[in-house]
Structure 1
């Protein structure tokens, strides 16, 4: 049986795929316009925070697809 060393980091191509998937998830979380008082809204906010934290931990930087006050990329 052969053991192979697995890479310790994602490749550039894998990072690009990860960011595309994270951006798609971001849009699916933030698009629903629902009342901030409902349970679904709070759950989506928690999920969004976890997504942004994961992006920061995996890439070492904040998500480029987030727009604050109209700044940032699409």
Structure 2
């Protein structure tokens, strides 16, 4: 039998896989140390903002893999 009604949102394992992929993408975006004056830096910054917005919309909460303090992202201990 074919499932005709697809779910309207991600659940359990699908949501976890989405968050893992988003975290990997986040690390690949913020990893390169390039000059803030170059076009690539600005493009990566726009991509990163879109990623964070999408994760917030899908999960309904702030991004768990980024914790900010007053000077930038805080490292996990």
- What TM-score do you get using the length of structure 2 for normalisation? 0.85
- 1:10 aligns with 10
Gaps of 5+ in 2: none
Residue 55 (1) aligns with residue 40 (2): no
Q: Which has the higher contact order (CA 8 A, sep 6+)?
A: 2
The alpha-carbon deviation at position 62 of structure 1 amounts to 1.0
Dislocated runs of 4+, deviation >6 Å: none
Partner secondary structure for residue 33 of structure 1? coil
The 1:3–1:68 alpha-carbon spacing in structure 2 relative to 1, beyond 3 Å, is: closer
Shift of 1:9: 1.1
Higher strand fraction (1 or 2): 2
Larger mean Cα displacement after TM superposition, 62-71 or 34-43: 62-71
Cα displacement (A) at 1:3 = 6.6
Pairs aligned (count): 72
TM (normalized to structure 1)? 0.89
